[in-house]
């Protein structure tokens, strides 16, 4: 059982905070690094998703994770999809990034070897109302220590048929709200592999992504701006995206899971009708995500772009993080693994204080 109780609702986990018994142990001292101008103890963190509110931020800050991303917020309240929201995928081999229609088989049982598992999530990017989340972001900022950075992720909620300009304006407004609440870095979630609405694949439109980054930059000034993007199997559109956001965003976070059809053992959509596709994370997506990071780093170097790449996807152990740093990642974040194993940052720092 992890810190996020998958047998309970999203709201239960939000209210209760992380479920954890025992001691994490001391966090090793490490030399100072920098993260987009901030002094940090490490460039190891948690991506948007697991850190539901300030209770979660405080717990994982104490656990030694130094880049802490507040779960994606909106300009209006959005409920979570009905449970189930998290399940485990029955596969031992890496997922084929190009096989977009390949169905994954999910089930509620927890694998015996949790450290090398593949999961699927279907939350729908829920959000509390701005009055609630802005006050809580301020508490989260107070909860972190020196050498740690609070990132706040946000997403626009476009009305059906709304013009692109409205979405762009909303991303800028949200960035300003996040900064005012206490964010040291603002993030636009331009991708979500487990929503059924239009905001889940904005990253596929390079020009629109560039305009969103420009609006956020205008709203927050010198505050670092990150863009979280999904899996792009073809090199040309990935390169186009990077060129479009260059000079506007500070960096990109690759990869926000991989979207696939998810079915139960009975062949029906595991999460129910209307939620046929869901996000896949964990060991199964590591190779695909690592390849995207490697490609992005190569393009940035070749084209002399002013961007940094934060790697995420399938980081479950020290060797996984090492592979991302070797590929040129500026920092490494995790999504699901810290839920199963909140002691990861402590172990990473013990063997790689330079991270």
pLDDT tens, 191-239? 865 555 555 689 999 999 999 999 999 999 999 999 999 999 899 999 9
pLDDT score for 199: 57
The pair of structure tokens assigned to 246 is 């260059």
Give the per-residue pLDDT at 245: 98
User: Considering the chain, what is the average pLDDT of its residues?
Assistant: 94
Check residue 147 and report its DSSP letter: T
pLDDT of residue 192: 63
CA distances from 346 to 26, 27, 334, 338 (A): 8, 5, 14, 11
As a whole number of angstroms, the distance between CA 46 and CA 338 comes to 8
177 class by beta-carbon count within 10 Å (0-12 exposed, 13-18 middle, 19+ buried): buried
pTM exceeds cut of 0.85 = yes
Q: How far apart (Å, rounded) are the C-alpha atoms in residues 162 and 130?
A: 21
Residue 182 gets which letter from DSSP? T
Q: Which domains does the chain have, with CATH numbers?
A: 10-351 (3.20.20.70)
Note the pLDDT of residue 116.
Answer: 81
% residues pLDDT > 70 (the chain): 97
Collapsed DSSP state (helix, strand, coil) of residue 269 = strand
Q: What is the pLDDT of residues 252-306, one digit of tens each?
A: 999 998 999 999 999 999 999 999 999 999 999 999 999 999 999 999 999 999 9
Task: Label the pairing between strands 149-154 and 67-73.
Answer: parallel
Lowest mean pLDDT among 161-170, 288-297, 346-355: 161-170
Is 112 a residue whose pLDDT tops 80?
Answer: no
Contact of 276 with 262, CB cutoff 8 Å: yes
Q: What pLDDT is stored for residue 59 in this prediction? A: 98
In eight-state DSSP terms, residue 196 is S
Check pLDDT > 80 for residue 161. no
User: In the beta sheet, which residues pair with residue 106?
Assistant: 89
What are the backbone dihedrals phi and psi of residue 258, each rounded to the nearest 5 degrees, phi first? -130, 125
The encoded tokens of residue 334 equal 């995790």
Tell me the C-alpha distance between 353 and 355, whole Å. 5
What pLDDT score was predicted for residue 267? 94
Closest CA relative to residue 40, chosen from 146, 125, 162, 133: 146
């Amino acid at each position: 059982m992890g810190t996020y109780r998958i047998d309970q609702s999203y709201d239960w986990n939000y209210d209760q905070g992380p479920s954890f018994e025992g001691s994490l142990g001391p966090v090793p001292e490490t030399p100072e690094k920098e993260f987009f101008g901030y002094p940090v103890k490490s460039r190891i963190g948690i991506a948007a998703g697991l850190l539901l509110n300030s209770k979660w931020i405080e717990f994982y800050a104490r656990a030694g994770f130094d880049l802490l991303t507040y779960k994606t917020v909106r300009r209006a309240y959005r409920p979570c999809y009905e449970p189930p929201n998290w399940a485990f995928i029955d596969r031992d081999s890496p997922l084929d990034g190009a096989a977009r229609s390949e169905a994954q088989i999910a089930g509620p049982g927890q694998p015996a070897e949790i450290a090398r598992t593949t999961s699927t999530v279907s939350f729908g990017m829920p959000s509390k109302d701005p009055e609630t989340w802005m006050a809580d972001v301020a508490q989260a900022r107070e909860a972190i220590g020196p050498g740690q950075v609070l990132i706040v992720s946000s997403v626009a909620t476009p009305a059906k048929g709304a013009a692109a300009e409205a979405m762009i304006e909303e991303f800028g407004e949200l960035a300003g709200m996040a900064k005012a609440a206490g964010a040291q870095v603002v993030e636009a979630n331009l991708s979500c592999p487990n929503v059924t609405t239009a905001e889940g694949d904005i990253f596929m439109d390079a020009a629109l992504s560039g305009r969103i980054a420009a609006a956020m930059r205008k709203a927050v000034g010198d505050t670092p701006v990150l863009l979280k993007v999904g899996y792009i199997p073809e090199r040309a559109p990935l390169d186009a995206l990077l060129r479009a956001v260059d000079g506007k965003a500070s960096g990109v976070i690759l990869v926000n899971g991989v979207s696939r059809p998810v079915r139960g053992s009975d062949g029906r959509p595991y999460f129910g009708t209307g939620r046929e596709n869901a996000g896949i994370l964990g060991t199964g997506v590591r190779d695909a995500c690592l390849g995207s990071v490697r490609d992005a780093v190569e393009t940035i170097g070749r084209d002399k772009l002013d961007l940094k790449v934060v790697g995420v996807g399938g980081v479950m152990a020290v060797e996984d993080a090492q592979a991302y740093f070797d590929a040129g990642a500026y920092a490494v974040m995790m999504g699901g693994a810290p839920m199963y194993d909140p002691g990861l940052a402590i172990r990473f720092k013990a063997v790689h204080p330079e991270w």
